């Protein structure tokens, strides 16, 4: 099952960055868990820490978020590809594998991978429009 994307955190993030990408995020398997605002008490500058899936992204502004999220998406696509390769390797080694479980896993990888690829393209478009 694909987890909820974390609508409340997405809304806060969208307000902070001015970016709209909910349609691409839904069904991607990415879950925004929490977001924190940090303030430098000496200089007064602000930064943000976004917790998503099993990692976090630290950024100061829209461009920082875009760059870090692009890096996260590229890595998550690599991880999905590695997962897919592992499933195929196990299937080749075990003739009596649970075909339904393998189908479900492949379906998850395919759907999430396609959504993440679309989201990565959207982030790259956001980045290109700022330069």
Residue pair 29/83 in contact by the 8 Å Cβ criterion = no
The pLDDT tens digits for 4-31 are 789 999 999 999 999 999 999 999 999 9
Q: Mean of the pLDDT values across residues 52-65?
A: 96
Query: Sorting pLDDT into bands at 50, 70 and 90, what band is 38?
Result: very high
The pLDDT tens digits for 59-82 are 999 999 999 999 999 999 999 999
pLDDT at 96 over 90: no
> In the prediction, which pLDDT does 91 show?
77
The Cα 97–Cα 86 span in angstroms is: 13
Q: Mean of the pLDDT values across residues 36-65?
A: 96
Q: Is 47 helix (H, G, I), strand (E, B) or coil?
A: strand
Angle at 111 between CA 58 and CA 66, to 5 degrees: 25
pLDDT at 103 over 90: no
Q: Mean of the pLDDT values across residues 101-120?
A: 92
Query: Sorting pLDDT into bands at 50, 70 and 90, what band is 111?
Result: very high
pLDDT at 88 over 90: no
β partners of residue 57: 50
């Amino acid at each position: 099952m694909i987890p909820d994307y974390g609508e409340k955190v997405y809304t806060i993030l969208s307000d902070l960055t001015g970016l709209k990408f909910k349609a691409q995020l839904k069904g991607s398997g990415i879950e925004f868990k929490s977001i924190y605002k940090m303030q430098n008490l000496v200089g007064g500058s602000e930064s943000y820490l976004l917790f998503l899936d099993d990692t976090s992204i630290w950024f100061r502004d829209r461009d920082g978020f875009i760059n870090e999220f692009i890096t996260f998406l590229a890595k998550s696509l690599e991880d999905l590809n590695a997962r897919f390769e592992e499933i195929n390797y196990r299937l080749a080694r075990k003739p009596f594998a649970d075909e339904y479980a393998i189908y479900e896993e492949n379906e998850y990888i395919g759907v999430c991978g396609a959504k993440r690829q679309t989201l990565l393209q959207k982030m790259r478009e956001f980045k290109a429009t700022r330069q």
